[in-house]
Structure 1
Amino acid sequence: MWVLEYLRLLNVEQKQPSLPFLKKLMKRHRLVFPFENVSKLLIDQYKKKQIITVEEFLDRRKNYDMGGTCYTLNIQFARLLRELGYVVSYIRPGNEHLALLVGLADSQKVWYVDVGTTAPILAPLPLGIERQTPIFAGEKVHLRKGEEPHTFTYVRTIGGRQVSKKWAFRSDQRYTLEDLMQPIQQSFLENGPYMSCIRIDKWCEYKQRMLSLKNTVLTMRGGGSKTERSIKSLEEMKAVLQDTFHLPKLPVLEAVEQLEARGHLLIKKSANIQS
């Protein structure tokens, strides 16, 4: 059964549904399954008319160190949570992102859950009250309750400055997988947000920091600080994936080659590197 394999990859023992267990699952998921668009560029474009199975998702992680973007990561996590006994619904903040509302069968409380984000959301956020994630290297995510019932706005800030678009959503507007097929297919258009770049984000539990690679810029947040470093070559990019992200099998060089073939030149390739 894939549930046991999923939990094995997360290094988590199965327990009864609870908020503490949900927190643990979420944090482990952010550690094990990276937010990355390499799989979107290399594989998913050929399967954009169907959602991959859980077994395919797990095999990609084991064989290629892949995770996915918001659709893949949150859909697969939702499947796991349902099998474990949680009540899960899909929501679309800003009508462009996918996140989850998760509850317990014997409770009316609902939490905002997102394992498919580049933001440092490492625990569920309760709905119904003004709530924000703990400050992480100056970064916060706020869920602001609207004036009308069931309305909320997702706001991401760094140092008190808004750094991305506000995403409005309704907690009573739920989506099915069938509803998601059209936006998933649209995300593969040439002007899609992750179709012309390299983006890899991962939680590093050992050093308590968030890692982010945006094309040739490596950003590390943690301990109340942020450092940036420019990647100068494909050799260095490959080393960063292996030594910093601990994703040695992620085929990022093949993704760079595909982007270059489509006219998106990210970095000058050295003659002696093989992909």
Structure 2
Amino acid sequence: MVDLEQLIEDYLRYLKIDIESPSLNYLQRLIQQHLSRIPYETFSKFHYYKEKTNFVPALDVFVKNLIERGWGGTCYTLNINFSRLLSHLGFPVSLVRVTPGHLAIMVTLEKRQFYVDVGYGSPIMKPVELEAKRRHVLHGFGEEIIFIQKSTDRFEIDRRSNGKSFVKKEIEWCPLTEEDIQSDIMKSYIDDDQNTTMRRITAVRFNGHECYFLRDRSIKVMTYRNIREIQMRDIDKWKTTIQEVYQIDENSLDESIQFLSERGVALFGK
């Protein structure tokens, strides 16, 4: 039997934040702590795929792996479990589809609806009231995130770096349940070369004034002023650096290298 109260307490303790009554200020602090404490990463995605039990872990499994292995997840794992936490804390929440291949959260407070996203590896550090105005712009770590209303229930989210767009998606601003997005989750785990998420290692963590972006054997360290890159051609340096930056356990790193190797992706030779 899962002790739900203990589970919520453990989750919040990891975030280093106390239980409070639902409010916009509390929601913003929860988002900020989540982005700084819990990484976007694909190590756990490969593991959950191989287990083939539940691609999105239950809340108790998510919290256990968070504490014991340093895992976060990709958008489905992160945003679904954060929405579960918010719901238990008394926030009215729904899920929203973001196409292609993404998921976010709708939180309703005082009859106002806010877009929340802790699973995009992006510095969306606050709730965004999409319907308040046609265009919203957020900035952080060399990135510009622009929300533009396209219709009553459609919003474009455009991520830009150095003034150039590098990914655009469309928010379907319609409340959904976990059951409604099961097929989306399954698609995100398709094990073929067209699904690049399943063929490369990615991790993002925000730490104070720095953002660490891992892509296979390199980490970009971004601040509000500049970007530097760490190249890791040696597997031992790779493991040491990733454990220092992301606090991911070593077994997860070995599992991921093996997972990719079995699919013809060799990060460190054959």
| Match runs of 1:59-208 below 5 Å | 59-104=64-109, 107-128=110-131, 129=133, 130-133=135-138, 135-146=139-150, 148-164=151-167, 166-171=168-173, 173-191=174-192, 192-205=195-208, 208=209
Q: Which has a greater percent of helix?
A: 2
State TM-score, norm by structure 2.
0.91
Is the 1:66–1:250 contact (alpha carbons within 8 Å) kept by the matching residues of 2? no
**1:51 Cα offset (Å):** 3.6
Amino acid paired to 2:140: F
Q: Which has a greater percent of strand?
A: 2
Is the 1:219–1:229 contact (alpha carbons within 8 Å) kept by the matching residues of 2? yes
Distance, in Å, in 1 between the alignment partners of 2:60 and 2:49 is: 15
Cα distance change of structure 1 residues 99 and 250 upon mapping to structure 2, 3 Å threshold: farther
Cα distance change of structure 1 residues 98 and 45 upon mapping to structure 2, 3 Å threshold: farther
Cα distance change of structure 1 residues 249 and 84 upon mapping to structure 2, 3 Å threshold: farther
Amino acid paired to 1:229: I
Distance, in Å, in 2 between the alignment partners of 1:137 and 1:63 is: 29
Distance, in Å, in 2 between the alignment partners of 1:137 and 1:6 is: 27
What is the aligned-residue RMSD (CA, Å)?
1.7
Distance, in Å, in 2 between the alignment partners of 1:240 and 1:50 is: 28
Q: Please, which runs of 5 or more residues in structure 1 have no aligned partner? A: 270-275
Q: Please, which runs of 5 or more residues in structure 2 have no aligned partner? A: none
Q: Deviations over 1:64-102 (max 9, x none)?
A: 111110000000000010111111111111141000111
Is the 1:136–1:224 contact (alpha carbons within 8 Å) kept by the matching residues of 2? no
**1:50 Cα offset (Å):** 5.6
Distance, in Å, in 2 between the alignment partners of 1:26 and 1:155 is: 20
Distance, in Å, in 2 between the alignment partners of 1:231 and 1:95 is: 31
Distance, in Å, in 2 between the alignment partners of 1:8 and 1:249 is: 23
Distance, in Å, in 1 between the alignment partners of 2:127 and 2:157 is: 14
Query: Are 2:213 and 1:217 equivalent residues in the alignment?
Result: no
**1:5 Cα offset (Å):** 1.4
Q: How many residues align?
A: 261
- Secondary structure of 2:27's counterpart equals helix
Of all paired residues, the percent bearing the same amino acid is 27
**1:48 Cα offset (Å):** 5.3
Is the 1:153–1:168 contact (alpha carbons within 8 Å) kept by the matching residues of 2? yes
